[in-house]
Amino acid sequence: MKKIEAIIRKSKFSNVKKALLNVEVNFFSYWDVTGVGNEKEGHVYRGVTYSTTDIQRRYLSIIVSEPFVERTVNAILESAYTGEVGDGKIFILPVEEAYRIRTKEYGNTSLN
């Protein structure tokens, strides 16, 4: 099992969510987060320049079995892409074990 963590633009979240559902990733958690990244230029709205040193993003946490890792990553890469600085990052970490509390199932069966 792997944990896939992705930090994406908030504006791309609905695209990413649809892409994940299309590759049968039906469960994940997400949070609104603020971070510091490589975007250096300010944004102008109605004549006022706003700093972009603190960047609003969405953080996704997804646990998948090995066969789903590549398709999950590809779904995020394709649906979150704009080609501009600030598209985000994806991290993959090992997961030792997972349990479903209700049924006490563990391992890959606890993920479905």
| CATH number assigned to the domain comprising residue 93 | 3.30.70.120
The answer to whether position 38 is within a domain reads no
The answer to whether position 36 is within a domain reads no
User: Which pTM does this prediction carry?
Assistant: 0.84
From first to last of the 112 residues of the chain, give the pLDDT tens digit.
999 999 999 999 999 999 999 999 999 999 999 887 766 656 666 777 666 667 789 999 999 999 999 999 999 999 999 998 889 999 999 999 999 999 999 999 998 8
Reading the block at residue 43, the tokens are: 């944004």
The domain containing residue 90 runs over which residues? 2-30+60-111
The answer to whether position 103 is within a domain reads yes
On whether the CB atoms of residues 2 and 92 are closer than 8 A, the answer is yes
- The 29-35 sheet, strands edge to edge: 29-35, 55-64, 2-9, 88-94
